[in-house]
């Protein structure tokens, strides 16, 4: 079981990351500063209130990404340590990379970049796309490949987000289109280009065990709890934010229940599938993001949550096997079912919400439509064009088309780049195994009494 | 090890849940709306501040119920996935059901129900009662039985809470009487009626392992950390809330230390029992709820925390075995020791606190007694009756009596209903096993190299 | 495998803790009260705002200490339950003990001690020192020894903190010098005096398994997420706190990436070491504490984070083995690498920051230097002395010297006290084993089908 250690690719990871850290330091040294401390007492109080109103949301989102999403990915029983660490590494790398690119793109013409919590939050949102896309190829890609993928994805995300939100004026406060749909099809594109037409066989280490399923469910529950913070953090404080929180809570709750119904009806014996639970419970949160702060009745949030859970479970049951057979499309975590389908459903709901709101007598004011937070200025710009309600509905659909088209194309190209031999894609028999990347206690290396019987038994079987 | 799959009860769960979701959608469509967005800027700022002051507490409570309580219940080594999922399912179902009932009961005469975060929070509190009661029959009941139990418990809780808080004017800001005592005796009633006089033998899968005990302790620690939010969320902002937080922190800290003392003295060899730690550390939080915002010195909170930990550990050591032998009363998680006994102790403390506060020169103003938050209006009503201090003390005791009486009776009736054969109570040999409800990787189904050695060894033993 | 149960030391733990709880109750009854509820409405709103601005930070810190730090210590595969419980016990004991001592020392001349959330927070910070120091002797000390260590450490910490912050006017808002450096050298002193010159052999139960490493990494991630709250909680609200949060986020992010680079370069095969990841990712947070709210550009935070991660990983790779061989110094968790070296690095950075800020035209106002929160008054005092910028730089260095000197000396003395035979240091062969302190399911005690195969296999190997 001694692993072949080709020295060259092993050194690529620290080299790449080290150079990136150096460049980051240089960039920060030259261009990034903090705001001057304000002299007036009122300003101090204003800053303090901004911190108190944003920081708890920010921390919730950090917990979601670092702990919740990390745990969700630990369903591969012998790949948990890698999943958790790679998720953590990619979050930090992508966040820093997004910070650099955003600084260059949006703020460079002001000379110096003033760093604040809001800019970090926006970069964190960019990093989320990478963490989602990785799900399509989890366990079969090396850390170097993942980093290259992040390097490609972040600028394309920023460009696509700029087109969708700023140019098209799409309303998408929770990032359903810009984050979830985009990252899903980017990940699928990468997977398609990376694995091409080769059918990936079921790997013996790919099947979850009870304890790895339990850890993964824990991750789902943590994501489920904190999801309202993710959707509502960029909403305008006040009614819009309050409504976004309530809509998200209702949608997530309906998702959880409907997942049980759908999974139980689809599986033989009526037994529930852990994978359905782990993903379906979150589908409502993906779908609700695009309409969370719009003027719509509470029942719409419940219905959307239920519907997206059904779509997600159906996707796992029928669409994923179909895509694997017909298109040889490999989707390890089922991101198409959790992020793609509910995202499209949510966009459709936003079109309906925009159209209905115009006929609603109480919804005749345009203020009811306006989203908030980071996107407020761009929407104002969009409305300056005098676009009517039908125009806004068209734009929502156009935004979806842009997100899918751009991400698929970019994903295919990025995936082709990941085939470079120097990126050290692991051989099939070493996939899904922590011991390829970590100095983890392993039976073959140190057969002491401390290695668990489980590993011992597995090793024995493999030696036979 | 092939499980018998009678198709009919398997279909009952999705049928019941699906119908419930449909009815919920109909109810929301007809009656539930959001508040109109306010036009004035001051109102917007007011709503924003309400969100910022409530939402962090709300999220803490969500973490407690979904992650903390879920993990606490995973001490059964082969039932962790079921415990976590059923807890999650019941929370969502009960919360939605409480939302419907509360809408019908309290707000229907206003025509439309205005949904807000506070109403969701109140429904969440109602759902807590179900999650606690389940502890008495954990592992031996089917999901259908649990849902029927929740269906029965929520309306009775709402009625009993109305009698205790609104009619009797009982002061109980942390839900010690209305939630903890009520749910404990409801659960015991259900257990008694469900299992009748049959002594439940020790099931081989019932004994915790080191790793399941560790997960359960994690749950305890998460509950321990966030408990102050649970007690203080409904307090009046300002001094009362500050005092409630401090009192809870002191009581929980004293509980943690005293549990170690008590457990160490009671067990042979002075070894600590994991079960004592998992429950005793939280006993102080249960007891302090009813007095948390009252005018009492900090030492009272410490003493109450210590005392309730002692009572909890003594209950585990002596009372639970006694109840099992004499009354054939089955209490799987020991909810009587964690919620019943400390709850009664806390109520006794509240009687003393009410009586002492009147003799205290600084406590002569009635404002010192007044609780806060959701109950404020009812208490004012209670004081309109001109009830003296002695009357308030009597009411506290009467509230306890009502909670115990109503819950025991309702629990016995509900438990009898759970004996309906169609609810598919699992046979004894299949209890405490995830594989009855979930498509969990199991040795007998797919004997591949990926199944863990542990399960393999167990399966082997069972086949022998 | 029957453990020898000498009854006497078994009774020492409950006796000691019980007496302590009694004394605490007496102390609280005599001296500690709450503030009178304020009559004015403005005061109520002020208290409410203080609660809302402090409580979320406080909860974050509680999660860090109880859940995060507890999990981080569970890397010993058969000692997880003990690590988690002892951490929890020590936190509560030390917090209460610090509350008593602080009450006696600082507030006794006012007659009565007014308890509030801020005082609890300060006591919690004192307790952190104990939790860190324990890392040096984790697994080889009895609970009684740990409690005696806490009893010694808290008063010395309070004295040293008084000298460093109040007398010397050292700026250290995140506790880098007063908490991290102090507790590190105290722990090393205890370890040296406790184990003397005996080389501790590698214990068979000392090597982490995959699953215990995964749990420990979870702890790291939780600490990583909430670290900004720990650093910023005592900062002045407004710009200083905002800057402290940003600096900490940048430093932690740089640490995470640099740890991967450093660990990958140092290990053969380029594989990452779990221990490096678990500690290095947090090193930036330790180092940034002392400069977090100072006027320095963002690049400095990034550079400090990177550098401290390098130092931490190098320490694990070279310094810890060296200290073990040359000085027979035993450091189980590597606290010297996580708390000692980055703490010293951070102090050096603070000297530079103080010196540079004076030459910076925008930094000429002394307000830029002033830290905040709890220490604000002391710093004003320090500046009353008319100390120049060079003087402040000297004081920072002097503070470091005081922290190291006092803690080493006190640690050596405390460690000598821990050698008292009555404190029941566990014999070598029973170290790192939960079953010494807990009634944990163990193969030898109840060989039922419920004990896991892993334990069974281990027990078999040990019996052979």
Question: pLDDT category, A105, cuts 50, 70, 90?
Answer: confident
Question: pLDDT category, A108, cuts 50, 70, 90?
Answer: low
Q: What is the arithmetic mean of pLDDT over B375-402?
A: 70
Asked whether residue B107 carries a pLDDT value surpassing 60, the answer given is yes
What gap in Å lies between CA A263 and CA A276, rounded to an integer?
6
- The total number of residues shown for chain C amounts to 464
Quote the pLDDT of residue B196.
85
Contact check, Cβ <8 Å, B239/C37: yes
- Is A225 an 8 Å CB contact of chain C? no
**Residues in chain A within 8 Å Cβ distance of B69:** none
ipTM of the complex: 0.90
Quote the pLDDT of residue B452.
39
Question: pLDDT category, A359, cuts 50, 70, 90?
Answer: low
Q: Which of residues 343-362 of A touch C (CB under 8 A)?
A: none
- Is A267 an 8 Å CB contact of chain B? yes
Q: Which of residues 122-181 of C touch B (CB under 8 A)?
A: none
Contact check, Cβ <8 Å, C438/B218: no
| Within a domain: B202 | yes
| Within a domain: A194 | yes
Contact check, Cβ <8 Å, B93/A257: yes
| Within a domain: A27 | no
State the average pLDDT for chain A: 86
pTM score, whole prediction: 0.92
- Is A53 an 8 Å CB contact of chain C? no
Contact check, Cβ <8 Å, B88/A256: yes
Quote the pLDDT of residue C218.
97
Quote the pLDDT of residue A114.
87
| Within a domain: C32 | no
Between A197 and A72, where is the model more confident? A72
Question: pLDDT category, A358, cuts 50, 70, 90?
Answer: low
Q: What is the pLDDT along chain C (464 residues), one digit of tens a residue?
A: 344 444 456 788 999 999 999 999 999 998 898 877 666 777 788 888 889 989 999 999 999 999 999 999 999 999 999 999 999 999 999 999 999 999 888 766 677 888 999 999 999 999 999 999 999 999 999 999 999 999 999 999 999 999 999 999 999 999 999 999 999 999 999 999 999 877 777 888 888 999 999 999 999 999 999 999 999 999 999 899 999 999 999 999 999 999 999 999 998 788 999 999 999 999 999 999 999 999 889 999 999 999 999 999 999 999 999 999 999 999 999 999 999 999 999 999 999 999 987 665 443 333 334 443 334 333 433 443 457 888 999 999 999 999 999 999 999 999 999 998 888 888 888 899 998 899 887 543 333 333 333 333 333 333 33
HEC profile for chain C?
CCCCCCHHHHHHHHHHHHHHHHHHHHHHHHHEEECCCCCCHHHHHHHHHHHHHHHHHHHHHHHHHHHHHHHHHHHCCCCHHHHHHHHHHHHHHHHHHHHHHHHHHHHHHHCCEEECHHHHHHHHHHHHHHHHHHHHHCCCCCHHHHHHHHHHHHHHHHHHHHHHHHHCCCCCCCCHHHHHHHHHHHHHHHHHHHHCCCCCCCCCCCCCCHHHHHHHHHHHHHHHHHHHHHHHCCCCCCHHHHHHHHHHHHHHHHHHHHHHHHHHHHCHHHCECHHHHHHHHHHHHHHHCCCCCCCCCHHHHHHHHHHHHHHHHHHHHHHHHHHHHHHCCCCCCCHHHHHHHHHHHHHHHHHHHHHHHHHCHHHCCHHHCCCCHHHHHHHHHHHHCCCCHHHHHHHHHHHHHHHHHHHHHHHHHHHHHCCCHHHCCCCHHHCCCHHHCECCCCCCCCCCCCCCHHHHHHHHHHHC
**Residues in chain A within 8 Å Cβ distance of B59:** 56, 60, 225-226, 228-229
**Residues in chain C within 8 Å Cβ distance of B254:** 21, 24
Asked whether residue A366 carries a pLDDT value surpassing 50, the answer given is no
A206/chain B closest Cα distance in angstroms: 8
* Range with lowest mean pLDDT among A218-222, A439-443, B272-276: A439-443
**Residues in chain A within 8 Å Cβ distance of B32:** 297-299
| Within a domain: C19 | no
Percent above pLDDT 90 for chain B:
67
Q: What is the CATH number of the domain that holds A176?
A: 1.10.3430.10
Quote the pLDDT of residue B374.
38
Between B129 and B46, where is the model more confident? B129
Contact check, Cβ <8 Å, B38/A239: yes
Q: Which of residues 93-122 of C touch A (CB under 8 A)?
A: none
Contact check, Cβ <8 Å, C85/B303: no
C137 closest CA partner among C150, C128, C146: C146
Nearest CA in chain A to B19: A261
Contact check, Cβ <8 Å, C225/A62: yes
Q: For chain B, how many structural domains are there in total?
A: 1
Quote the pLDDT of residue A404.
97
Nearest CA in chain C to A120: C246
Contact check, Cβ <8 Å, A256/B56: no
Range of B257's domain?
53-436
| Within a domain: A179 | yes
Span A432-455, pLDDT tens digits: 999 889 988 753 333 333 334 343
Nearest CA in chain B to C437: B271
What gap in Å lies between CA B335 and CA B134, rounded to an integer?
9
| Within a domain: B108 | yes
**Residues in chain B within 8 Å Cβ distance of A226:** 59
| Subunits with 3+ C-beta pairs closer than 8 A to A | B, C
Nearest CA in chain B to A302: B25
| Within a domain: C331 | yes
Quote the pLDDT of residue B83.
96
Span B36-53, pLDDT tens digits: 766 677 778 888 888 998
Nearest CA in chain A to B437: A271
Quote the pLDDT of residue C358.
67
Nearest CA in chain C to A22: C303
* Range with lowest mean pLDDT among A371-385, B3-17, B176-190, B231-245: A371-385
- Is B67 an 8 Å CB contact of chain A? yes
Contact check, Cβ <8 Å, B267/C439: yes
How many pairs of residues across A and C have Cβ atoms under 8 Å apart?
195
Contact check, Cβ <8 Å, B450/A267: no
């Amino acid at each position: 079981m001694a692993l072949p250690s080709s020295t060259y690719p092993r050194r690529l990871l620290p080299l790449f990351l080290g150079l990136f850290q150096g460049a980051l330091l240089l960039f920060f040294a030259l261009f990034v500063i903090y705001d001057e401390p304000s002299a007036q007492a009122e300003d101090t109080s204003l800053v303090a209130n901004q911190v108190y109103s944003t920081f708890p949301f920010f921390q919730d989102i950090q917990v979601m990404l670092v702990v919740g999403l990390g745990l969700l990915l630990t369903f591969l029983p012998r790949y948990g340590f890698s999943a958790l660490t790679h998720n953590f590494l990619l979050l930090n790398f992508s966040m820093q990379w997004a910070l650099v690119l955003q600084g260059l793109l949006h703020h460079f013409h002001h000379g110096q970049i003033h760093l604040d919590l809001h800019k970090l939050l926006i970069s964190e949102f960019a990093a989320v796309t990478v963490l989602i896309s990785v799900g399509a190829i989890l366990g079969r890609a090396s850390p170097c490949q993942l980093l290259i993928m992040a390097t490609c994805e972040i600028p394309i995300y920023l460009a696509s987000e700029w087109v969708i939100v700023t140019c098209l004026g799409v309303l998408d406060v929770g990032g359903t289109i810009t984050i979830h749909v985009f990252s899903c099809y980017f990940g699928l594109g990468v997977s398609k280009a990376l694995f091409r037409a080769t059918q990936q066989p079921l790997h013996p280490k790919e099947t979850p065990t009870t304890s790895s399923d339990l850890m993964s469910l824990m991750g789902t529950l943590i994501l489920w709890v904190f999801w309202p913070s993710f959707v509502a953090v960029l909403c305008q404080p006040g009614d819009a934010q309050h409504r976004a929180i309530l809509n998200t809570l209702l949608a997530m709750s309906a998702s959880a229940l409907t997942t049980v119904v759908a999974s139980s009806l689809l599986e033989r014996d009526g037994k529930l599938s852990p994978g359905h639970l782990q993903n379906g419970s979150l589908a409502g949160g993906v779908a609700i993001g695009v309409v969370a702060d719009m003027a719509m009745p509470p029942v719409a949030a419940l219905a959307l949550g239920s519907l997206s859970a059904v779509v997600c479970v159906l996707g796992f049951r029928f669409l994923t096997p179909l895509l694997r057979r017909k298109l040889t499309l490999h989707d390890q975590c089922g991101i198409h079912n959790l992020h793609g389908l509910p995202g499209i459903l949510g966009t459709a709901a936003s079109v309906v919400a925009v159209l209905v709101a115009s006929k609603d007598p109480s919804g005749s004011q345009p203020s009811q439509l306006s989203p908030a937070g980071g996107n407020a200025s761009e929407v104002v710009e969009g409305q300056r064009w005098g676009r009517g309600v039908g125009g806004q509905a068209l734009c929502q659909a156009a935004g979806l088309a842009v997100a899918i088209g751009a991400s698929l194309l970019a994903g295919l190209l990025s995936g082709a780049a990941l085939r470079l031999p120097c990126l050290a894609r692991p051989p099939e028999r070493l996939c899904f195994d922590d011991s390829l990347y970590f100095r983890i206690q392993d039976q073959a290396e140190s057969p002491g009494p401390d290695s668990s019987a489980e590993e011992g038994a597995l090793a024995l079987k493999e030696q036979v």
